[in-house]
Amino acid sequence: MKAVSKDTQDSDEIEKFLPIEETSTKETVATVGKTDKVSYTEKIDLTNTILSSAKLTINFSPTILSNITSGIDFLANFPYGCIEQKQSAILPNVYIKKLYTSA
């Protein structure tokens, strides 16, 4: 971007380069399984991944319920504010209450 100011005697200009960055969306994938094997392989599709900004985090837990609080926290702080997302953030709490009262 370049801005130039001139009059009959003087002139001044400034040039600023603005980076063009690719947009990306965070993707979270959860896999549940059970194995008695020493090793386990999970395939990850990296077809549309921007490798220069990619990050992989792997979490293990002994039961499916171990990470339930972090999942609820993620949904409660979901970064989009339309009504559908807000309703989606409330639903896990309803199911957790049902799970808790049925136990």
Q: CA-CA distance, 31 to 36, in Å (whole number)?
A: 16
Domain ranges in the chain are: 63-103
Candidates 81, 101, 83; CA nearest to 93 is: 101
Per-residue pLDDT of the chain (103 residues; tens, 9 = 90+): 999 999 999 999 999 998 887 777 777 777 777 778 888 888 888 888 888 878 888 877 777 677 677 777 776 676 666 667 767 767 777 777 787 777 6
Output the six-digit token pair for 86.
Answer: 């807000």
